[in-house]
Structure 1
Amino acid sequence: MGEKISKKVYAAILATGLMSFSGVLVETAMNVAFPTLMKQFGLATNTVQWMTSIYLLVISVIVPLSAVLKSSFKTKQLFVTANLLFFTGLLLDGLAPNFAILLLGRGIQGLGTGIALPLMFNIILEQVPAERIGIMMGFGNLITGVAPALGPTFGGLIINSLGWRYVFFFLMPLIILSLILGLYGIQQKSKIVKIKPDFLSIIFIAVLFGGVIYGFSNLSSSKLQSNLLPIFIGLCALGFLLGRSKKLDQPILHFEILKNKSFSVHLLGFLLMQLCSLGNAFLLPNYVQLVNGGTATLAGLVTMPAGIIGAAMSVVGGRLYDAKGARLPMITGVSLMAVELISFACLSQHMSNLVICLVYIIYMTGMGMTVGSIMTNGLASLKPSQSAQGNAFLNTIQQFAGAIGTSLTSAIVAFSQSQYGSKGAYPTAIGTQHAFIFLAVLAVCLWLMFYKNVKTEGESK
């Protein structure tokens, strides 16, 4: 059956995966806490969602540096730094006296996750035999994929029984376990070649993501012109970044790999999928609470079965990829995602908790089958020397799209609430329906793109 995977490689993947797991667990657990935080701090929906957006924004700025960091520092050094940063962020959030400190802690967690997240996939690409990369990418996504399943329930139970601060305290032992596994398992396989990151490029990346995310996050809270300006500034920063990168021998992001059509299609598909997924994860727990009048714990229990099934399906998708190629898991998976979003777009003014639970399973089954195959097949279209850069692009897009997905869907809901002058059940249901219509359109576009461009077995591998 080919070369074996060592225990140390498994430990290294588990160590880095646990950090990503913890990041997603906090994110989804705190999504359930949004109504609680809104009451405690007297904030609107689109303000509280910065709990997610600031975290994803920081990751979006750090992840593009991953290829430079991987080349310049030992993997174990990067992991330990990331681990300690994440632990510090958890401690700060657990003790936060106000919302500003809460956001600061989330930002520090983003620094840790931004460093750690690409490490897992880099380890898989470097240290796993080619014929088993699909299944190991599935295993890596299984670790992180369990988090959205457990997060809402974990968050609901903790918030209702002990308070939202304990969401952060309870994750500290997991981060310590991750540190122990990483110290044991992470090995250095690539040579260290010091690359000095271009400071001006980092500034452009920060302005790009900051401007776009800020603009989208405030779409419903002020005049349109005031939100278009930061988006415009962000897009200008992208132009400057592209121009700057062409002049550098060692740019932070090698944009020439986007000339590879297959990789670009997978990258765009990954963006659309994350928009849909984070939007879904924001809308459903809030619907259970604000429209159906459920508790935070109930919101978690309603979404948990789908998350567990989705995580398990990531391994199934990996096996299908190794055995049959990319087309079968990707087309099947995206079809299921589109079915769920179209169904919720039709039903979302009148959805019972049971309907939400059952229909959401369809989406998470599809997403689980698809996510690892998109990443693996996209990276397979690149030269081995471009893998770290391709990984940087994929992880950057994943976090950036997640932030935009949360921002857009929360803005659509908040806009409806402001039109009716209430955050009650009916305005929230109307806003949720509009948001699902938007996500359903994205899912149909994603299906059409993959149907046309993803090759049959053997052609793209």
Structure 2
Amino acid sequence: MTFVGVLNETSMNVAYPILAKDFGVSLDVVQWITGGYLLMVTIVMGTTAYCLRQWPARWLHLAAVLAFIIGDLIGALAIDFPMLLAGRMIQAVATGFSTPMMFFLIFTQLPRERLGVMNGVAGMVISLAPALGPTYGGAVLAAGSWHLIFWLLLPIAFLSLIVGQLTIRNQPFGNSQPFSFLALILLATSLTSFVVGVARFGKAGWTSSCWLLLLLGLILLIAFIWQNQHGKTRLFDLSIFSISTVRLAEWTYFSLQFINIGASLALPIYCEYVLHASSLVAGIVLLPGSLLGAAMAPAAGFLADRYGYGLPTRLGSILIVLGTAGLLIFQSNLTPLLVMGLFIIMRLGFNAAFSNTIANASTLVSKEKSTDVNSIFNMTQQFAGSLGVGIMTALIALSQNKGHGSMTLKTFKGSRVDFVILVVLALGALIAIWCNFALQRRLQTQTEK
């Protein structure tokens, strides 16, 4: 269920030009089928720390799969953009539950000495799927209508429904306090304000409404933190961030997913608009990196179990910097083949570091707080993806709407800013990773003394 849900996040990316033409909307509006999807996933994930403690995962899985099937049918039958968007939002509810559920079962049902490999498998699922999405979408578009993207996912959802209900078994911990609806509302409106503000930037630039929405988002986020920590109930326990290594891991996780989803969106668009590749070719350029990255994830997990989390995550951070820097340095000479090669480097680095980051963070807190790490980190990666989609698309759309020259030249200029952002985040992740494990080593040495 997680695989098909995350695959669905980016499967429509290569269809942006077609959807913009079919529905008569601009690129910054079309991006909501991905950005809005990720935003809804983020909001739903805010409830999972409570839900996974309160109810058996089996019943949450049932609700998730049914939501996906309903949303998938609405998307497949969509006759206008609002109907398509509504179907995508319902599907997002399923992904919001299934992804934290997968990690929760790993964290709570397995001994810590096996976390590396199993998190590698989980990381393979959630990192392969978004990069494979454009390839899947491009292949379907080459064969027929974008409606088929939805129809072909239904059998996998039904398979998940059957197998999941037969196999998922766990006993929830329970909650000592009721659910905090006020905290969820504050969090949801805060995240929505941020994403809408970024989306509006893509249409008109930094207008006063953009700044007001971002300011509103910040105020609501502060209100959420206060309510969550001082109210009678909590959505999740933010005290885990009192641990400096957890804070560094959180920033790393955010940066890695922003790069992952942002590149998975920006590169197919670049190939179509600038390199004049077909939607099929635009999707295929991501395929080798997706497959090789998927193979890297469990291998990196094995390295983490044997040599510690520091080795694969440091290696991954170096590869991500090399891949993103290559896009920026060689942009004027990019070809679909070169994009493919640089994406392979990025994906190998991403998969070496991504799942090991959350696995490492889960070992830094008590087992009872693993649900909080799980929920918060999975929320972070989805919100990072939503911002990645919004910002990457907004910069290209702004250049297309306000720039001068041909559409090819305007997209080239907007993409260059995208590549700069990817490099900056890659460097930030590298610094955070190396500082994190240096600090963990120092703390371990002090403990041993």
TM-score of the superposed pair, with normalisation by structure 2: 0.95
The answer on whether the counterparts of 2:249 and 2:436 sit within 8 Å (CA) in structure 1 is no
Backbone CA RMSD of aligned residues: 1.7
The answer on whether the counterparts of 1:21 and 1:145 sit within 8 Å (CA) in structure 2 is no
- Corresponding pairs, count: 443
The answer on whether the counterparts of 1:327 and 1:456 sit within 8 Å (CA) in structure 2 is no
Consecutive unaligned residues in structure 2, runs of 5 or more: 445-449
Moved more, 348-357 or 415-424: 415-424
SS of 2:15 mapped into structure 1: helix
Pairs within 5 Å for 1:392-431: 392-421=375-404, 424-431=407-414
SS of 1:221 mapped into structure 2: helix
* 1:16 corresponding residue in structure 2: none
Q: 2 CA distance for matches of 1:95 and 1:195? A: 42
* 1:328 corresponding residue in structure 2: 311
How far does residue 191 in structure 1 lie from its aligned partner after superposition?
3.7
SS of 2:160 mapped into structure 1: helix
Q: 1 CA distance for matches of 2:423 and 2:124? A: 25
Deviations 1:89-124, CA, capped at 9 Å, x for gaps: 100000011001111111101111111111000000
Say whether residues 1:317 and 2:290 are aligned partners.
no
* 1:154 corresponding residue in structure 2: 136
How far does residue 195 in structure 1 lie from its aligned partner after superposition?
4.4
Displaced runs of 4 or more, over 6 A: 456-461
Equivalent of 2:178, from 180, 192, 196? 196
Paired amino acid for 2:88: R
* 2:214 corresponding residue in structure 1: 231
Say whether residues 1:266 and 2:249 are aligned partners.
yes
The answer on whether the counterparts of 1:214 and 1:230 sit within 8 Å (CA) in structure 2 is yes
The answer on whether the counterparts of 2:16 and 2:27 sit within 8 Å (CA) in structure 1 is yes
Q: 2 CA distance for matches of 1:73 and 1:24? A: 23
Paired amino acid for 2:162: I
Q: 1 CA distance for matches of 2:342 and 2:128? A: 18
Say whether residues 1:378 and 2:330 are aligned partners.
no
* 1:356 corresponding residue in structure 2: 339
Q: 1 CA distance for matches of 2:388 and 2:440? A: 32
* 2:226 corresponding residue in structure 1: 243
* 1:94 corresponding residue in structure 2: 76
TM-score of the superposed pair, with normalisation by structure 1: 0.93
* 1:164 corresponding residue in structure 2: 146
Aligned-residue identity in percent? 29
Paired amino acid for 1:51: I
* 1:15 corresponding residue in structure 2: none
Paired amino acid for 1:196: P
Q: 2 CA distance for matches of 1:448 and 1:164? A: 41
Equivalent of 1:366, from 324, 349, 362? 349
How far does residue 433 in structure 1 lie from its aligned partner after superposition?
1.2
* 2:281 corresponding residue in structure 1: 298
SS of 2:234 mapped into structure 1: coil
Paired amino acid for 1:372: S
Paired amino acid for 1:170: L
* 1:210 corresponding residue in structure 2: 192
* 1:68 corresponding residue in structure 2: 50
Counterparts in 2 of 1:423 and 1:85: CA distance versus 1, 3 Å = farther
Consecutive unaligned residues in structure 1, runs of 5 or more: 1-18
* 1:339 corresponding residue in structure 2: 322
Deviations 1:243-263, CA, capped at 9 Å, x for gaps: 112223430021111111111
* 2:447 corresponding residue in structure 1: none
* 1:132 corresponding residue in structure 2: 114
Paired amino acid for 2:37: Y
Deviations 1:323-355, CA, capped at 9 Å, x for gaps: 111111111101101111111012223311110
Deviations 1:149-201, CA, capped at 9 Å, x for gaps: 43222211211222001100100000011111111110123344474211211
Counterparts in 2 of 1:341 and 1:132: CA distance versus 1, 3 Å = same
* 1:59 corresponding residue in structure 2: 41
* 1:39 corresponding residue in structure 2: 21
Say whether residues 1:185 and 2:167 are aligned partners.
yes
